[in-house]
Structure formats: structure tokens, C-alpha cells
Amino acid sequence: MAAPHTMTAPPSPSERAAYGRKARSRASRSGHAAFERDTGRVDPVAVVERQSATRLPELVPLRYGRMLESPFRFYRGAAAIMAADLGSLPNTGLTVQLCGDGHLLNFRLLASPERRLVFDINDFDETLPGPFEWDVKRLAASVAIAGRANGYSAKEQNSAVTACVKAYRERMRLFAGMRALDIWYAQDDADRMRGLLASSSKEARRRTAAAAAKARTRTHLQAFAQLTRVTPEGRRIAADPPLVTPLRDLVTDPSEDDRRQLRTLLQTYEDTLSSERRHLLRQYHLVDMARKVVGVGSVGTRCWILLLLGRDDDDPLLLQAKEAQQSVLAAHTDADRFDNEGRRVVAGQRLIQTTSDIFLGWTHVVGLDGRGRDFYVRQLRDWKGIARPDTMDPDLLRLFAQLCGASLARAHARSGDPVAIAAYLGRSDRFDRALAAFAQTYADRNERDFEALGVAARSGRIHAESPG
């Protein structure tokens, strides 16, 4: 954990800017274009296998199957591979709280506690402090890989990447001139999105409005209707193996010890909430839970759905308790370590996300196998609008990439020094062009890694199952 703040006077803006410009001697802006790691690079399949060793064995083949669907799906599950690649490169030393896995699909529409629709980062499993450019590079490469998946030309891919990085750079410069509180209060809400869309095509505006409308329908009540059924005992989570497996199907006759563990899970989680949110949570009681398969990179980690009910069966609360393992960035940074990986995720999310879920917290649980594991907890679904890059034309992909780049800048400005970062980036497009080149080189690397995983599956080294 960080040392207590002593409230000493900070460096002046000019000193901070000078520090940022000095970082160019450690990692030049044009130097970010380079990535050549064939010599001495760790076997990418081995990296994935090491992660799989800590996961539920029966779900690991499903993880491989999802990663083998396409290079873009592979990239989503390959954060550990890229972390090792980035950790080997020169870096700026300009530290922010990293998302750690900032690819395109980890940006989406979300509900704020005030019931406003905002655009923000959604996944923080890998969050840790580190050099700001690591997040920007992961996002930039994901834009190029998505463009390739859609069959776009290299020119169209580069246009989307440079638009993304330019949006990051220009918004960081804007934050550099703002007061600290104004940065903290900044949001990417519907009003800002309408402003960004004003000069876009009619089709882009139509599709964005449709996405916002759809996000508002993705409520906890919709999830409740989809995931549960009426039983003689009341509402319970419906089985859909292997994607959703109720606890009753994993443990046919839960013992008093099992029930005690569940009560401990909720109690220790409750203690991490603020007092008013503990009061709200206590109006519900746990009636069922199930194991759920989520994402691509997360497949095989323990993830539970918790069904709680209030006054009756029509007053539900669905929580998701997701296992938090060590960040893929941990081996490549000297960041302070937390006593609970779930707490690390929550602390990072609260720092860089403008409107975190009111039920966000963490816990430590002894599982059915007797081993203790860390988890973070949040609502299962609350106005989440998920992007579909595979359905975007080049103009819409470029616009979405701009939104993501600008949102990432806002997250970094909250946790890092926007003056130093803006000074490092400068006013020219040198950094933008360098990252466009990096994104293409890394997209090539990602395709070779994807093929390597395919070879491993065909040779029998790994076993992959189709998602079905």
C-alpha cells in the first residue's frame, strides 16, 4: 500500500512538464513504433498454459476454444502475453493506475449510481500502477486487430488507430490545464457523446442512439428473468451447463459447513461496503448461487452468481463474485502488493472509473476444495451496452476508437500526472504515428501467437472445446 500523503506542496506545473519532457530520454516518442521480440521471447502457449494451471480444469478447454475462434478473440485472452512483451520494452516511467487490459471490448456504456448512462472502462481484473503507454498500446493494437477482422485496409486500420491515440493525446492536454477537482468530476456521459457525434454520419448517430436505448434495457430485472426460473422453493437460478451451473448441481447435499462458508462470504463482503450500502444489502437474503463462465481471458477462473431476494420474489438483487488472481502486470512492475487481490481490483476501479457500482466490494472465500481465494463483487448487470466492433464500418470503428482513447485519457488523468504526460506527448502527431506502426507490428505478432495456439491444439499439447 502507498505511504500516507504528507500534504507537502506539489511540484509546480512547469516542473511537472519538464519531468514529462525529460521522459523522452528514457523512451522517445518515435521509439514506441518498435516491437521485435522473436529472439528470447517466452513461448506464448506456455504463458497461457501457466495461467490455465490455476483455473478450473474442466473449463480450460472452453477457454482455449474461445481463444481459437479468431485472432481478435485470442487477443482478448492474451493479456499475460502482451504484459510480458511490454515489460521488456523501454518505458516512460510516467505512472498511472493502469486498466491493464484496455482492449476495445473493455469500454462500454454503463449506468451511474445517479441512473445516467456513461461511457467508461468496465474490466479491472489486471489493474496495477504502471507506465501510461502500456494501456494505450494495448488499446491501439486492439483497434488494428479489430480492423483486420473486418477486412479493412491497412490505411483504414491506421486511420482508426491514429484517431484513437490522437483523442487520448488531445484530451490529456485538455486535462493538463484543468483543476484537480474538475478532472475528478469529468464524465463521458450522454451529453458529451452527443457532442462528439455531432459531426459524424447519420448512420453513426442512429446506431449509437440504438446502442444507448438497448443498454437501458439490460437491467438486473432482465437478467433475473433470463437466469432464473420458478421452482417449488421459489425463484432459483436455472442450470445451463457448462456456462451456468447452480451450486446444488456441484454439491448435491450442501453441509452446514458449506452454508457457513456462504454466510461468511456475504459477511466479509458486506464489511467492505460503506455503511449506507451495507444497510441496503441487509434488506436482501441469499437464496441461490451458481458458477458462471464469463469472458474469454477469464474463462476457468471461479465466478459465481449470487441471487438475493428482498421482500418477495419480485425484488431481486443479482451479484457477481469473480475470482481475482494476481495481475498479469505484477511480474513486470514494482507496484505495492495488496493483501487481497479482490481489494486490488476494487481500489483500481474506484480510482480510475468515474461511477463505480454501488455494490462493488471484495472478499476472501474458502472454496469447495478447501483452498482460500480472493474475489471482488459487483452487480451482475446494470445498463451495460456492449460494443460490436465486428459490425462496424471503418468510419464507425474510427469513432468508437476515438471514444475509447478519450475515455482512457480521463482514467489516466485521475490517477497520474496529466501535465507530465501531456508534456511528454507534445502537440505533434509523432506519438500517434508511432503507435499506429506498433499496432500493425503487434497485430502481426498476435496472429502468429494465435497460430501457435492452433498448432498446440492440433498436436494435442492442449485440448480445446468449441464454445458451442
pLDDT digits (tens, 9 = 90+) for 65-120: 999 999 999 999 999 999 999 999 999 999 999 999 999 999 987 766 656 777 89
**Cα Rg, the chain, nearest whole Å:** 22
- CA 357 vs. chain centroid, Å, equals 14
Q: Tell me what pLDDT residue 447 has.
A: 97
Residues 24 and 168 in one domain: yes
CB distance 430 to 30 below 8 Å: yes
Average pLDDT, stretch 309-323? Answer: 90
Residues 152 and 285 in one domain: no
Q: Tell me what pLDDT residue 212 has.
A: 58
In a domain, 1, yes or no: no
Alpha carbons 422 and 132: distance in angstroms, whole number: 11
In a domain, 7, yes or no: no
Q: Quick one: which of 375, 363, 384, 379 has its CA closest to 284?
A: 379
**Least confident span in 153-157, 284-288, 434-438, 451-455:** 284-288
Q: Quick one: which of 190, 224, 218 has its CA closest to 205?
A: 190
In a domain, 294, yes or no: yes
Q: Tell me what pLDDT residue 385 has.
A: 57
Q: Which residues span the domain enclosing 315?
A: 220-379
Query: Amino acid letter at 209?
Result: A
Query: Amino acid letter at 31?
Result: G
Residues 341 and 423 in one domain: no
Non-local (6+) Cβ contacts of 121 within 8 A are 99, 102, 106, 107, 352, 353, 407, 408, 411
Residue 413 half-sphere exposure, CB side, CA atoms within 13 Å?
A: 31
In a domain, 193, yes or no: yes
Q: Tell me what pLDDT residue 65 has.
A: 95
pLDDT of 375 > 80? The answer is yes
Residue whose C-alpha cell is 518505458? 91
Residues 272 and 151 in one domain: no
pLDDT of 262 > 70? The answer is no
Residues 395 and 374 in one domain: no
Kindly report, residue by residue over 5-47, the tens digit of the pLDDT.
666 778 999 999 999 999 999 999 999 999 876 567 889 999 9
Residues 348 and 453 in one domain: no
Q: Tell me what pLDDT residue 213 has.
A: 60
**Least confident span in 47-56, 198-207, 251-260, 325-334:** 251-260
Domain boundary residue, one of 359, 379, 399: 379
Kindly report, residue by residue over 137-193, the tens digit of the pLDDT.
999 999 999 999 999 999 999 999 999 999 999 999 999 999 999 999 998 876 666
Residues 261 and 347 in one domain: yes
Non-local (6+) Cβ contacts of 300 within 8 A are 52, 55, 56, 59, 60, 62, 63
Confidence of residue 1 (pLDDT cuts 50, 70, 90): very low
pLDDT of 415 > 60? The answer is yes
Domain boundary residue, one of 315, 346, 379: 379
Residues 190 and 166 in one domain: yes
In a domain, 466, yes or no: no
Residues 46 and 181 in one domain: yes
φ, ψ for residue 13, nearest 5 deg: -55, -40
pLDDT of 423 > 70? The answer is yes
Task: Tell me the average pLDDT of the chain.
Answer: 88
* Grid coordinates of 243: 456456462
Confidence of residue 299 (pLDDT cuts 50, 70, 90): confident
Residues 21 and 120 in one domain: yes
- ω into 11 cis (within 30 of 0): no
Q: How many domains does the chain have?
A: 2
Average pLDDT, stretch 243-264? Answer: 71
Residues 371 and 399 in one domain: no
Alpha carbons 58 and 452: distance in angstroms, whole number: 22
Residues 288 and 412 in one domain: no
Domain boundary residue, one of 325, 357, 379: 379
Alpha carbons 73 and 50: distance in angstroms, whole number: 19
